[in-house]
Amino acid sequence: MCRWRSIERLAVDNLLDLTHTAFVHADTFDNAGVLESERVVKAVGEERLTDFFAFKNAMSRPLRDGYLLDETVSLFDNFLETYWQAPGIMILVHGAVPEGREREAEGAIVLNTNILTPASDNTCHYFWAQSVYRNRGDGKVRDMWDMMTKAAFAEDEDVLERQQANLERFGSSSLADDVSLVLRADKGIVLARRIVGRIVKRESAAHDAQGPVL
What does the binding site for Fe ion look like in residue numbers (CB under 5 A)? 156
Which is nearest to 88 in space by CA: 158, 166, 10, 155?
10
Of 47 and 113, the one with the shorter C-beta distance to Fe ion is: 113
- CA dihedral 137→138→139→144, nearest 10 degrees, is -20
Q: How far is the CB of 59 from Fe ion (least distance, A)?
A: 19
Q: Are 179 and 167 in contact (CB under 8 A)?
A: no
Of 55 and 153, the one with the shorter C-beta distance to Fe ion is: 153
Cα three-residue angle 182-188-190, rounded to 5 degrees = 45
Distances (CA, A) of 120 to 8, 42, 125, 210: 11, 31, 9, 24
Q: Which amino acid is at 129?
A: A
Q: How far is the CB of 15 from Fe ion (least distance, A)?
A: 7
Q: Backbone dihedral region of 28: left (phi > 0), alpha (psi from -120 to 50 degrees) or beta?
A: alpha
Q: How far is the CB of 194 from Fe ion (least distance, A)?
A: 23
Q: How far is the CB of 49 from Fe ion (least distance, A)?
A: 18
Residue nearest to Fe ion (CB): 156
Of 51 and 156, the one with the shorter C-beta distance to Fe ion is: 156
Which is nearest to 57 in space by CA: 103, 17, 97, 105?
97
Q: How far is the CB of 147 from Fe ion (least distance, A)?
A: 15
Q: How far is the CB of 155 from Fe ion (least distance, A)?
A: 6
Of 102 and 188, the one with the shorter C-beta distance to Fe ion is: 188
Of 151 and 199, the one with the shorter C-beta distance to Fe ion is: 151
Of 46 and 158, the one with the shorter C-beta distance to Fe ion is: 158
- CA dihedral 33→37→43→49, nearest 10 degrees, is -30
